[in-house]
Structures are given as structure tokens and as C-alpha cells.
Copies of this chain bind each other. A is one copy, B any other.
């Protein structure tokens, strides 16, 4: 029997989703699971989006333009202009989720064996896209002790080789919530210009910044020219993760041509959602303001609760709706499994995402987890209290293979 390809074998399971069967087992046993493992918001989508779906104005669902419906791209031009990002509609290729924007960038800019430098921890699915494209992700480590800011530029420079094609950042960051400073971004720009690289910037959490922080876009950077590539998604902005709409934005004509050709192969992104997303762009500013207030309240509640847990290290993030937390355990994945299989508080437990999957350097992140602020304040507090009780029970339990109770 012929087996899988090497990349078929190497394709990683989602570290966020691989514990799902354990959560399903827990639910079958009647345990309520608080899902703070996944970036699936409980926020309602804008009325404009839902309304457009209800009345698609057509009796058939035809193909759309492979680079996206013009009406939607024209709307996106206005949307980006609100953030001072000046682009034309033909500088936008609408993709099937932000996922496809990333894979298109990898395919169009890198060949198998080429390298992309990425600060770690990073959005775990970059690993999957890298395996698909045969690209090697070269990590530079950001440390929780430094608040996950970028390490000195020299740390990036030493990782550049003849195979390096791009630096990929996520800003505001998933999983850390870190928001890059203007200075960091300008330093990255100088580096990619000097070393003849692309700067890919995943900016899907643009709207979610707190405490006066500003999310600067790669396309804001003066002199970035043809090297800047913005990767985007509406999943989190409008709470429409299942709609699968993103886009790739660049002023690089060659890349736009390649993205269009990649787009033609798969024909088009979902068209009904593009029409609905066009309408969602007209949602009142209050919609996103309320969403932002809600995430800020959740973040603050989580950090109030975390402050009361002994041995936990966490840095309050200024962006996105995640935080990476160091736990007083040696193997956070074993602990996350145990929470689902062996623990409950009055019939409830909590599901967290082990952070090792967000690092490319082996061994890093083993004692860290990602927490997503995707449930309402009372549930976030409840989840953190269950986490606290879980940690107490786990550390007090007899030592087990692979996880002696930590310091």
C-alpha cells in the first residue's frame, strides 16, 4: 500500500484543536467545559452582515472574480483609508480566510527549502502552512520576561541566510497580545530593505488595541514599497470566523499577479460572504467600540484573577484578545489534558491551549499556555478560578510520569 507523502506525514495537527476529543469526552460525561483555548469569539456579528445574508438578492450563487468581488474590494479601499492605509482596489486580493492569504504569500514568494523568519511564539498554523509550502520557519525567540517584545535586531540578522525570503510578523500578536512599536516596525523595514527581503504582516487584530496603543500597519511604513505585504481577515473583526474571508494587500505588482493566478486555480472566495462583508463595512463605529470595551473588560478580569494564582507569570497585553501565561507546571500540555480528563469543579472544567505548539524551537513554551478572552467576564473569571483550583490540585497530586509538580 502506498503511504502518505513526506509532507502529508509531517503536517502537524493543530495544537489548539488536538485536545478537542478529550473535551468531547468530558462533555459526554456531563462536565461543562469553559473553552478559552480557541480564538472563537462569542460576540454577535454586525446586524449588517446577517441582514445581507438573509437577502442575497439572487436565486443562484455564482462564481465571483478570482481576486474578489469589485464591490467588496472597493469597500475595503475605504475601510483601509480609515486607518491611513492607502491602497487601490486592484492592490487587494480577497482570500478564503486569512489562512489562504498566508499560504498564497508563502507559495508566491518562497520555494521549497526557502526560509521565513518569524518571531516566536507565533500563530501555530504558520507551521502547517510552512509544511504545505515546503518553507522552513526560522524562529527568533521573544521572551515572556521581556513582555514578548522583539529581541534586538541582531538576533534577527544572525538568522538571515541566502535562503531567507521574508520576515513574518503578527501585529497585534496572536498568541501574546503584544503590539509592535513604531520603532520596532521601522527597524524591521530597514532590515528587509537592506537585506532584500519581504515583510509579511498578519494584522487581523488591527481593531483590538488597548491603553492607548496603536496598531501600525506594514503599509504605513515609508519606503516599504514593493516589500510590504499585509495579510488580513474579517473573522475576528466581525465575529465571523466561519465565513472564511481574508485578503492579501500589497503594492507589489508581481505578487498581485501571482496571487491572482493562485486565486484563479481555486476560482473564488465565498461570494455570499463577500457581499455580506461589504455591508458589514458600513457597521456603525459603535459596534467595534462596544466589542473593544468588552474585550478590555475581559482582559482586565482575567488579569485580576491571574494575580491571585501562585506561581503564574503573565504580562498584560495591549492588543488582540489572548495572553500567553507561564504556569507552575513542567508540562503544560499534560496539565491541559489532565484538566479535561481528571479534573472538575462542581461539574465544570477549563480548556486551555498548550503553548509549545506556538514555538518552533524545541522545548520552548512547554510550561506556557495561551488563554483567549472569548467568553463573557463572569465566565472568564470562573474559568480562571477553575484554573487556579486545577493548578492547586495538580501540583498537590502525586508526581506523575512526565510532569513532576513544578517550582
Contact = CB atoms under 8 A, between A and B. Distances in A.
Interface stretch (A41-49, A304-312, A379-387, A393-401): A41-49
Contact of A112 (B11, B134, B226, B255): B134
Given A6-B111, A134-B112, A244-B96, A55 B54 contact: yes
A268 interface: yes
A125 B265 contact: yes
A200 to B, nearest CB: 12
A62 B240 CA distance: 6
B258 A11 contact: yes
Contact of A50 (B17, B59, B244): B59
A359 to B, nearest CB: 17
A205 interface: no
Interface stretch (A102-110, A151-159, A295-303, A327-335): A102-110
Interface stretch (A182-190, A269-277, A316-324): A269-277
Contacts of A268: 241-242, 244
Interface in A208-228: 225-227
Contacts of A226: 1
A63 interface: yes
A132 interface: yes
Interface string A252-283: 00110010111011111111110000000000
Contact of A4 (B112, B225, B239, B254): B254
A397 B258 CA distance: 37
Contacts of A30: none
Nearest to A275: B242
A105 B239 CA distance: 31
Nearest to A254: B4
B38 A60 contact: no
Interface in A123-144: 125, 127-129, 132, 134
Contacts of A64: 242
A2 interface: yes
A97 interface: yes
A372 to B, nearest CB: 12
B261 A66 contact: no
Contacts of A269: 244
Contacts of A378: none
A5 B272 contact: no
Contacts of A289: none
A242 B258 contact: no
A53 interface: yes
A198 interface: yes
Interface in A72-120: 96-97, 99-100, 103, 107-112, 114
B45 A261 contact: no
18 contacts: A2-B198, A3-B254, A7-B107, A8-B108, A8-B255, A11-B262, A13-B264, A14-B66, A17-B66, A44-B60, A53-B54, A96-B96, A99-B265, A99-B266, A100-B266, A128-B262, A243-B272, A270-B273
Interface of A: 1-9, 11-14, 17, 38, 40-45, 49-50, 53-56, 59-64, 66, 96-97, 99-100, 103, 107-112, 114, 125, 127-129, 132, 134, 165, 196-198, 225-227, 239-244, 254-255, 258, 260-262, 264-273
What are the 10 closest A-B residue pairs judged by CB atoms, nearest first?
A128-B265, A242-B271, A8-B108, A14-B264, A99-B266, A8-B258, A61-B240, A11-B261, A44-B59, A63-B241
